[in-house]
Structure 1
C-alpha cells in the first residue's frame, strides 16, 4: 500500500498542470504593476545620468502640514505613497495630489515642493535611479520655481 501512495504522489508531482505552475510565466500572476513609462509626471523623457550607476531607496516621512521644501531631482525618481497624502506644487505646471497606494515617476530637473495635505504623517518609498556625479535631490530657492 505504501508503494501505491508513493506512485500516486509522484504522478501528481509529474503532472503537466503542476509543471506549468512552476514556469517563469506563472510568476507574472504575482506582479501588480504600479507605474510604467519612459517619461516623468510632467511628460519629460527620462534619461539616466552618465557614470557608474547608483540606486538609492529611502522612506520619506513628512508630518501633517509639513513640506519637503523647494527642490528638484537630477536623476529619475520612482515614488510610492505608503500612507497619507502629498500635494506637490510644480509651479507653472500646476499641482498634483498623491494618496496612499499611488505611484509616480517624479519630475526631473523641475523645481517642486511637496506639502502633506492629509490628516496623518505621509510616508513614501523613494527609489532614486542615479549615477555619476548627479545628485538625487538638490534644494532650490522658491523663486526658482518655473
Structure 2
C-alpha cells in the first residue's frame, strides 16, 4: 500500500477583474509516483465545472518557491513576501493562482520526509510498470 500525503490549501485565483477569488485546492503526493505532485481543484473553481488535477514535478515545485521555474504547462515563481505564483497553461487559457509559500514548504517537507530527494527510484515498481506497458502493446 502506498503512502499518500494530502494537504488542503487556499489558492487565490487571479482573474482580469481586480478582485481575487479564494478557491480551495488540494496538494497531493503519492509515494507510488515519487517524482510528481498533484494540485487538485474542485469543479467550483474551474470554467467547466468539473474537478481538475494538474500533475507536475515535485522538484519543479521546490525550485519555484525560491526562483522562477518551469517552461511548460506548469510554472512556479515566488511572489512578494510569503506567496508563490503557480501558472497552469492549457489550450483553453492560463490559470494563475497565489498560494501561501508556507503551505507549500510544509507540504514539500512532508513529501521529502516520505521519500527523500535522490531516493525516488526506490519507490518505483518497474516490474508492474513494464507489465502494464507490455499489456497495452498487445
What's the TM-score once normalised by structure 1's chain length? 0.24
Q: Give 1 or 2: higher helix fraction.
A: 2
What's the TM-score once normalised by structure 2's chain length? 0.25
